[in-house]
Amino acid sequence: MGSRKQQRIAVTTQLVTGEDDDLVEWFQCVTGSRNQAVKDALRAALDSPIPTHQDAASAVEIAELRDQMAELRDQMAEMQDQMAAWGKWFETDFHGYLRAQLDTIGTLPEVPTIEAAPQVESEDLDRRAKKLKRQAW
C-alpha cells in the first residue's frame, strides 16, 4: 500500500486597508496558527462544526461576537425607528394638542402692564440722604 498524498486547496485573499480594516485588525491579533484561525472563522460563519483543537475557542468567540454585533445592529435600527416616530409625534400630535388647548382657552391671557413707579424728586432725595446720615445704627 502506497501512501496517498493529501490534496490541498490553496486559498489566497488580499485585505485592503480602508475597506477591510476589521479583518486586518482581527488577523493581526490572531495568536497561534493563523491558518487554523481562518479555517475556524470560515466554519463559524457557515455554522459548520468546528473540530476540537487549541484554537477552536477563538472561532467560537468570533461567532459569538458576530451574533452580538447583529443584535446591536438590530437594536440600533429599532432605536432609530423609535426616534423617528417620536419626532413625527412631536410635529403632529403634540402640536395638535397645543392647538386644541389654545382653542379651548380661547385666547392667551393679557400680559399685565406694570405702571412706572413714581419718580422721587431731588429735594426728597436730599432730605432722605440727610436723615440717613443722622441715624445711628
For residue 5, is it within any domain? no
How high is the mean pLDDT of the chain?
A: 80
Q: How many residues does the chain have?
A: 137
Average pLDDT over residues 9-31: 84
Domain residues for the domain of 56 are 21-108
pLDDT of residue 26: 81
pLDDT at 134: 85
Look at residue 137 in the predicted model and tell me its pLDDT. 66
Q: Model confidence at 86, in pLDDT bands (50, 70, 90)?
A: confident
What's residue 54's pLDDT? 54
Taking the C-alpha atoms of residue 43 and residue 31, their distance in angstroms, rounded to an integer, is 18
Do the domain assignments include residue 9?
Answer: no
Q: Is 92 within the bounds of a domain?
A: yes
- Grid coordinates of 28: 493581526
Are 41 and 59 contacting, i.e. CB atoms less than 8 angstroms apart? yes
What is the pLDDT, as a whole number, of residue 58? Answer: 67
The structural domain count of the chain equals 1
The stretch 38-46 carries a mean pLDDT of: 82
pTM given for the model: 0.35
> pLDDT value at position 1?
47
**Inside any domain, residue 58:** yes
**Has residue 131 been placed in a domain?**
no
Is residue 44 within 8 Å of 62, Cβ to Cβ? yes
**Strand ranges for 85-136 from DSSP E:** none
